Amino acid sequence: MQTQRLDVLDGLRGIAIALVVWYHLWQVSWLDPRIHVARLDVSLVFIPIAGFLGVELFFFLSAFCLSYPYVRAHFAEEEPPSFGRFAYRRFIKIVPSYALSLFAVIALAWLPGAKDSWGANIGWSGAQDAGLDLLAHLTFLHNFFYETYSSINGVLWTLAIEVQFYVLFPFLIGLFLRLPLATSVTMTAVAIAYRVHVGDCCRAPVFDHNLGQLPAFFDFFAAGMLAAFAYGWLHAHRPRLVTMRALWTGIALAAGVWIALLFANVTAHRWQDAFENWWLIRNGTFYAVAIGLAALGSLLAFPAWRKALANPIFRFLAVISYNLYLWHQIVFRWVATWPFIPHAHGATRGDPVWSWIVTVCGLSIAVATSALLTYAFERPLLRVESEALLRRLDLAFRRTALRRQE
């Protein structure tokens, strides 16, 4: 059984954050990325236009990384990781950096002129609303309500979905290890049924809010869990198949082409009235399957392919990805309001000089801020563990499991 760190997943995480960051940067700068070679002029704008799909890749990777230690222990017939450690590690990874960004954005929003300079989408009308808004965010329930869905920082709705999945995970993983295919199919069916229901019942402005709920993304979490199971099963029961590097590289390449075609298709339909309906309801599960094949194929591909994915740039982005996710959109909106950036006749869209300045400055500040917070705040916290707290958490999970059995 494989025990080493799966660096390919770090590469995929780097791609995921690059896609999301590029998408939000494109929304601010409107910079059209092009390749000019001789007489060939190729626009790559379909990548940032569809870059929001990096969020679904994050969900897939989260489910894979959470499931794999339990899958590995399952096939090795070893004691699985304790749920107390799982809960502690998830808390210490997610909550401190999240709370820091939350309170920092709120503090900045209350500064004079902050609405214009920071672009924080905070619509509080009074202290009571502010308190309820903050409570909803601190309990990761803000995506349940239209008023708080994106009220402080527009990217935080995905954190609510992640944490809600963490709460379900200890119960899901036991069922999944006993019935992996049935569990995955059921989760996928729930996702499709939920999205179809939302598409039939709920139009703008509440459509995005209703679609931004955990059940809508169950198929991506299921794909991550199933890919982790398949990777563990192959090493445990089909080691000769694992060595067929050409086959797995071909699968990874084919899945990559499939994903690129989906991105291009998303771009072609991006401004249609029923775009969300067209994308998530009709094609979301295909994207989940394509991601699963790309990840599994890449994990078992030729070393050159794995090294290309797990290159230093993608791995660095993976390390700072959480803080970069929390901060990038706020930084981009702030930079875009700088009054001293030259632009033509008061227009910013279509002005390449303004777009390039916003792009370079925004990326530089966002990456530098995220790296500082990651290495000076997040990673030191991750190195601290309280054995007494872990024992208490383990005991709490065991008592919960006993009550369920009774």
**pLDDT tens column, 82-119:** 888 888 889 999 999 999 999 888 887 766 555 544 44
Confidence bin at 403 (pLDDT 50/70/90): low
pLDDT at 117: 42
Q: Is 42 helix (H, G, I), strand (E, B) or coil?
A: strand
> Is 24 inside a domain boundary?
yes
Alpha-carbon gap, residue 70 to 404, rounded angstroms? 20
> Is 391 inside a domain boundary?
yes
Determine the structural domain holding residue 55 and report its residue range. 7-405
> Is 1 inside a domain boundary?
no
> Is 132 inside a domain boundary?
yes
Classify residue 152 as exposed, middle or buried by CB count within 10 Å of its CB (0-12, 13-18, 19+). Answer: buried
> Is 146 inside a domain boundary?
yes
> Is 35 inside a domain boundary?
yes
Partnered with residue 41 across adjacent β-strands are 36
> Is 218 inside a domain boundary?
yes
State the angle between helix axes of 157-178 and 83-109 in degrees (0 to 180), rounded to the nearest 10: 170
Q: Which of 179-188, 255-264, 279-288, 350-359 shows the lowest mean pLDDT across its residues? A: 279-288
Helix boundaries (H) for 271-385: 275-276, 282-299, 303-309, 312-319, 321-336, 352-373, 379-382
Alpha-carbon gap, residue 117 to 375, rounded angstroms? 28
Confidence bin at 390 (pLDDT 50/70/90): low
Q: What integer is the mean pLDDT of 341-346? A: 62
pTM equals 0.90
User: Contact, 145 vs 156, CB < 8 A?
Assistant: no
Token pair listed for 80: 């699985």
Alpha-carbon gap, residue 302 to 324, rounded angstroms? 30
Domain count, the chain: 1
Task: Give percent of the chain above pLDDT 90.
Answer: 56
Whole-number Cα distances in Å, 244 to 68, 113, 239: 22, 60, 9
- More confident position, 129 or 90: 90
pLDDT at 85: 83
Q: What integer is the mean pLDDT of 313-330? A: 96
The answer for residues whose C-beta is within 8 angstroms of residue 4's C-beta and 6 or more apart is none
> Is 2 inside a domain boundary?
no
Confidence bin at 43 (pLDDT 50/70/90): confident
User: Contact, 91 vs 326, CB < 8 A?
Assistant: no
Alpha-carbon gap, residue 270 to 258, rounded angstroms? 18
